[in-house]
Chain A
Amino acid sequence: MSGGALYDLMTFFGGLSLLSFGGGNAVIPEIQRHVVLVMSWLNEAEFVALYAISQSAPGPSSLFVAQIGWRVAGWPGAVAATLGMYLPSSVLVYLAERSWQRFRGSRWLIRLENGLAPVTIGLIFAGGWIVAQEVGQDWIGWILTGGMAVFVATTKLNPLPLLLIAGIVGALAWG
């Protein structure tokens, strides 16, 4: 392991952090190009497997970059890639939130928020819809998706037990 590898990880993911408009998934193709094709840090099969694991592991799926960092330079590499991925964008959001807060309660911001609310709800549906399709759904998958949607919409109960049951169903049906 070398300082050079840590520097490479941090600068690559640090640059991506500020380019990942539309969320972490937007930069997956660029990560794949750099990590597999340019640097040969992972081969294609490893890349796809790690991506799939991180999509459903707890926490943000963008922690995918920690796994890449570990592969390149062990735990320090994992830390370097993770800091690179989150630090620049977090500073930007922090600054934006500070200015957002300065205008709280102003008439135009309330109007903007009233307009944003239904649009964002539409985006939430779109996000769920896109993920549901990416899972590679058969009828069992759609029952899991639909059942969970109804459960969350109509009850106030904690959905975690149902999530674990869905995992067991997945293991039995597709395992």
Chain B
Amino acid sequence: MIDSPSLVLIARSYLKIALSSFGGGLSAWTQQIVVEELRWIDDREFLSGLALCRVLPGPTMVNFAVFLGSRLRGAPGVAAALTGLLVVPFIVSVVLGILYFEYQHIPRLQPTLAGMAAAAAGMTMGMGVKMLMRRQVTVSELICVISAFVLIGVMRVPLVMALLILVPCAVLLTKGEPE
């Protein structure tokens, strides 16, 4: 890892992530900025941190901001990351709520946001493809990817139960394979 970034840079980067994430796609934007642009962590750390943050209670990408802030700069890093991620969206969110209660509907807001949400879903899947291509994925890894997708995305098995099945199998399957 390179030198620890300053608290201001952590906060600013998280603000950029937050403001880019129209329509959702917060995990894709986090990966884009933290891994691709800033190179603060690599794919493996990103993915294992993401797994930890999904298993623990709480909104996953807020958890991940805590995880990354702590990893980079300890408790002050957590405060910086959360400030960047939450303060401006908090204000935007409440103002949108106020507008909704004032006017009951904001013309064309809903379809605009729906279009962005459809694209943001694609962004998330594109991120998955990109990380797969970079790994020069083995057959056994591909089996793990597909099993996880089917169990969670198609069969909607509860996360903890799915992970209790998937993770031991994945650790055994990927045993001894080079990085």
Contacts and interface: CB of A to CB of B under 8 A. Distances in A.
Given A92-B56, A93-B56, A167-B115, A59 B18 contact: yes
A61 B89 CA distance: 10
A57 B113 contact: yes
Contact of B112 (A17, A85, A141, A171): A171
Interface of B, secondary structure class, is helix
Interface of A, secondary structure class, is helix
B123 to A, nearest CB: 5
Contact of A148 (B48, B96, B98, B120): B120
A89 to B, nearest CB: 3
B38 interface: no
A97 B160 contact: no
Contact of B117 (A56, A60, A93, A96): A56
Contacts of A145: 118-119, 121-122, 125
A38 interface: no
A119 B148 contact: yes
A75 B52 CA distance: 33
Contact of A50 (B23, B58, B97, B127): B97
Interface in B101-118: 101, 105, 108-118
B48 A117 contact: yes
B174 A115 contact: yes
Contacts of A136: 114
B56 A96 contact: yes
B90 A113 contact: no
Interface residues of B, number: 106
A111 B133 contact: no
Interface in A69-100: 70-71, 75, 78, 82, 85-86, 88-90, 92-94, 96-98, 100
A142 B70 CA distance: 38
B59 A20 contact: yes
Q: Number of contact residues on A: which range applies?
A: 35 or more
B119 A144 contact: yes
A123 interface: yes
A173 B110 CA distance: 12
Contacts of B177: 114
Interface of A: 17-24, 46, 49-50, 52-64, 66-67, 70-71, 75, 78, 82, 85-86, 88-90, 92-94, 96-98, 100-101, 111-132, 135-137, 141-142, 144-153, 156, 158-160, 162-164, 166-171, 173-175
Closest A-B pairs by Cβ, 8 of them: A170-B115, A59-B89, A122-B148, A89-B58, A152-B126, A126-B153, A148-B122, A67-B97
Given A119-B166, A125-B128, 7 more contacts: A17-B58, A50-B100, A60-B86, A67-B96, A75-B94, A90-B63, A117-B141
20 contacts: A18-B58, A46-B100, A46-B101, A56-B116, A59-B86, A59-B88, A60-B61, A61-B26, A89-B57, A112-B167, A113-B45, A113-B48, A114-B171, A115-B171, A116-B170, A123-B50, A129-B153, A135-B121, A167-B115, A170-B112
